[in-house]
Amino acid sequence: MSFLSHIWSFKKRLRHDEEGAIVVETAIGLPVLLTTIIGVLEIAHYFFVAAAIENAVLQASRFGITGSNEEGTTREQQVRDIIREQTFGQVNMDTVNIETLVYENFADIGEPEPFIDDNASGSYDEGEDYTDVNGNGQWDADMAISGLGGGGDIVLYRVNYDISSLTGFADWAYRNVSVSATVAVRNEPY
């Protein structure tokens, strides 16, 4: 048998040989499957934490409108405790940003303190007269007062949190995804 006929017979056997095909198919398909599974878990984790934060803000605002206060703790601490409990340990309370702002009216939310625009620039410039609504001695782009307010006040509850990756797999693509939840309520008269 000549050398050429050995090559042809080897090619013929190789063409019909299926040993090792499963290894090649697994090597191609497994990374795609694992990436898809991890991606689904990451997205599910994001939506779970976002929903938990939304619920936590609603629960905290429900507590806040009553004006109640347990002995030995502040209302602010109770709001933090409610948010911690309602997020099932998925939120790092050291990095979460919880903001409560008090307004007189719903229409005031996010509005700047009124000022007289002497130079018609459309924005507040140093030295222009303004009404110090929140009483802090300076003009502010938001007229709110920090706190939980009193009876009949409008309180805006805002929670911002950067969700980190669940598995660490997607850290090369992004560091954190930010979630924000906001609720505005009127405190009950108390």
Domain that holds residue 70: 3-109+144-186
Instruction: State the Cα–Cα distance between residues 3 and 187, nearest whole angstrom.
Output: 94
pLDDT of 173: 67
pLDDT of 166: 85
Give me the residue label for tokens 């602010």.
76
pTM above the 0.85 mark?
no
Q: How many residues does the chain have?
A: 190
Q: 121 in a domain, yes or no?
A: no
pLDDT of 16: 72
Number of domains in the chain: 1
- CB neighbours (10 Å) of residue 178? 9
Instruction: State the Cα–Cα distance between residues 159 and 181, nearest whole angstrom.
Output: 5
pLDDT of 11: 75
Q: 118 in a domain, yes or no?
A: no
pLDDT of 88: 94
pLDDT of 167: 86
Q: 56 in a domain, yes or no?
A: yes
Q: 72 in a domain, yes or no?
A: yes
- Interhelix angle for 75-86 vs 21-64, to 10°? 150
Q: 10 in a domain, yes or no?
A: yes
Tens-digit pLDDT string for the chain (190 aa): 677 787 877 777 767 777 777 888 899 999 999 999 998 998 999 999 999 999 999 999 999 999 888 889 999 999 999 999 999 999 999 999 999 999 999 999 999 999 999 998 989 999 899 999 999 999 999 999 999 999 999 999 999 999 888 888 767 666 678 999 999 999 999 7
Q: 13 in a domain, yes or no?
A: yes
pLDDT of 174: 66
pLDDT of 110: 94
Q: Residue 178 is encoded by which pair of tokens? A: 């930010």
Q: 129 in a domain, yes or no?
A: no
Q: 117 in a domain, yes or no?
A: no
